[in-house]
Amino acid sequence: MLNNNISDATKYFIDLRRHMWVAGIELDLRRLIWQIAVTGKYISAKIHESNRKLAGLKNIYDEEQLALDRSSDRILRNQLEFSGFVREYASEELDEIIKIGKGDEKYYITADPLDGSSLVDTNLAIGTIIGIHNEPVPSQGRKSMVAALYITYGPLITMVYSAGKGTHEFVLNREGEYVLSEENITLKQRGSIYSIGGLKRDWTENHARYVGFLDDEGYKLRYSGGFVPDINQIMIKRGGVFTYPALKNSPNGKLRLVFELQPMAFLVEQAGGRATDGTRDILDITAETLDQRNPIYIGSPFEVEKAREFFAAGKD
Ligand code: AFP
């Protein structure tokens, strides 16, 4: 692991490949993470090129445009097909897991190629979420997940990864290199912001009491509607809680366990935080189906444990 006291001037020269090498991450995994990070550049170029146009629209040459989330999926899939490290690819954009390797590759990928695509027209940040497993998915997250990462497409393009040796942020610079910006991100025991998805009128009693507690404690609301930037905010501000809860009319919440929740739980745990559905650790939940949804409370230890307490003591 690199020196924590590394100066700002020095750390900007540490690129992603060097960081992973110094951290002692296994060669194939390093190469795979690198290839996915590179894909972020192509997806970001696609976002720019789309000029906010979404599915079903025609471009200036009168050609049908693919929705950005679907074209991001294609970019990712094409890149990984030739990587030599990926046996199977499961994407939120596809109905089935597809075999993209020869059959002897080590890794299984889960991808949410472009999360928050409905925010593209507003010019808010959006992102890509990746999980890397050494067993077929869907399976038990903690047991099979060896790495996770997300890429944010905002004013800056950043990449946050963990291969089980801490969580680190890199910024894409003008030369096209991912350079280290935050090493060993460590969440505080307790933060001061909350992000809450779902309509208030649909909240369960336990959840409403929990939010009431956060309000009384003076937490500030910070919600963009994009899972990646909302989690990234907690990472970079070093604390707080994001929740997309069980709702009266959708008891499993909205977000997908395999594609969204488990990769983020891995990254947050590696940063000293926690993630629960109210009773179980997100990474301990076995997915029954690829598109399974679960409620989530994720962030600093204090807020996540408080959520567990409210659910343990509560009625619903
Ligand atoms: P889209 O990909 O359809 O924009 O959904 C984004 C998302 O899956 C996730 O990124 C957000 O946290 C969540 O939905 C926001 O949901 P609400 O619009 O219900 O707040």
Determine the atom of ligand 1 nearest the C-alpha atom of 114: 2
Q: How far is the CA of 17 from the centre of ligand 1 (A)?
A: 32
Indicate the pLDDT class of residue 59, thresholds 50, 70 and 90. very low
User: Alpha-carbon distance 110 to 88, whole Å?
Assistant: 9
Chain centre to alpha carbon of residue 28: 21
The stretch 270-297 carries a mean pLDDT of 96
Ligand 1 in reach of 245 Cβ (< 6 A)? no
Q: Which two tokens stand for residue 15?
A: 């690129």
Indicate the pLDDT class of residue 181, thresholds 50, 70 and 90. very high
Residues with Cβ within 8 Å of 194's Cβ and at least 6 positions away in sequence, in order, are: 211, 214, 219, 220, 221, 222, 240, 241, 242, 243, 303
Q: How far is the CA of 71 from the centre of ligand 1 (A)?
A: 18
- pLDDT (tens digit, 9 = 90+) per residue, 9-44? 555 578 999 999 999 999 999 999 999 999 999 999
Q: How far is the CA of 228 from the centre of ligand 1 (A)?
A: 10
* pTM (two decimals): 0.93
CA neighbor of 294 nearest in space, from 251, 236, 242: 251
Q: Where are the domains of the chain?
A: 10-182, 193-312
Indicate the pLDDT class of residue 95, thresholds 50, 70 and 90. confident
Q: Could you check whether 10-182 and 193-312 share the same CATH topology?
A: no
Structural fold of domain 10-182: Fructose-1,6-Bisphosphatase; Chain A, domain 1 (3.30.540)
CA neighbor of 299 nearest in space, from 251, 249, 216, 227: 227
Average pLDDT in the chain: 91
Q: Does domain 193-312 have CATH number 3.40.50.720?
A: no
Compute φ and ψ for 91, nearest 5 degrees.
Answer: -125, 145
Q: How far is the CA of 137 from the centre of ligand 1 (A)?
A: 23
Candidate of 227, 231, 243, 249 to mutate for ligand 1, largest count of ligand atoms within 8 Å of Cβ: 227
Ligand 1 in reach of 225 Cβ (< 6 A)? yes
